[in-house]
Amino acid sequence: MNIVVLTGAGISAESGISTFRDNDGLWKKYDAMRLASIDGFQEEPEAVLEFYNARRKQLLAVQPNHAHDALAELENEHDVTIITQNVDDLHERAGSTNVVHLHGELSKVTSSREREDDNCIKQYPLDLPIRLGDKAADGSQLRPYIVWFGENLRYMDEAIKLVGNADVFAVVGTSLVVYPAAGLVRSAQQKALKFLVDPSDMKGRLPIDFMHIKAKATEGVDLLIDKIKKL
């Protein structure tokens, strides 16, 4: 079966990475438009670099959790594609081989002139801070390879196609409030089986035709896989 899973910050919460909009979420503590937007980077590049250097370093201290592992193992029986809004590398570290990052990757850096210039996108040591004055291959200021608010998504069309071809489409740990990623719930075919794993009641946010598995990712993904096994 062709299984496509859209993940958000909730799947990495039990690995110790804060989500964005929960009570202890990042955007409750930090100003998203100041630290995670293209305008913010132009106005205060040092503050933005400091914010991402800390998030990059944190990745060295966390591990994939059971939800990441279970989705990776599912590849033994099915074609599984992960479309993630997360910028961490926990899906890959758990062993998932088909991972599409919609919002970039903390483990990479790029040009501040042309973010998607493949000659400038590079893996960069997570404990090596990006500093003002560091240069990308095109001579521009080096920046984290992250899609900031106000920027386009390179892989959105690919994601829409992938979801459109899914037999099973599952959504795990995302509040579905950030577009265009949240719009992917409308890209699945009517005949596709649709599931949403989230411990909150998703009041007013549960998309039509989705079965809500109201649980944390480490439990909910097991319940999801049980349902898939019974198909």
Which of 15, 53, 85, 112 is the binder for ligand APR (CB under 6 A)? 85
Binding mask 10-29 for ligand APR (x = CB under 6 A): x--xx----xxxx--x----
Rounded least distance, CB 23 to ligand APR, Å: 10
Rounded least distance, CB 6 to ligand APR, Å: 10
Identify which range of 42-50, 116-124, 160-168, 171-179 contacts ligand APR by CB under 6 A.
171-179
What is the amino acid identity at position 185?
V
Q: Which residue has the tokens 């037999």?
A: 167
Identify which range of 2-10, 56-64, 74-82, 160-168 contacts ligand APR by CB under 6 A.
2-10
Q: Which residues contact 113 (CB under 8 A, 6 or more apart)?
A: 136, 138, 140
Rounded least distance, CB 85 to ligand APR, Å: 3
Which of 216, 224, 225, 228 is the binder for ligand APR (CB under 6 A)? 216
CA distances in angstroms from 62 to 18, 32, 59, 84, 164, listed in the order given: 11, 23, 5, 18, 33
Binding mask 93-132 for ligand APR (x = CB under 6 A): ----------x-----------------------------
- Catalytic residue list contains 78: no
Which of 59, 173, 193, 210 is the binder for ligand APR (CB under 6 A)? 173
Identify which range of 49-57, 120-128, 134-142, 170-178 contacts ligand APR by CB under 6 A.
170-178
Q: Which of 68, 91, 101, 103 is catalytic?
A: 103
**Catalytic positions, written as ranges:** 103
Residues found near ligand APR in the complex (CB under 6 A):
8-10, 13-14, 19-22, 25, 85, 103, 173-175, 177-178, 198-200, 216-217
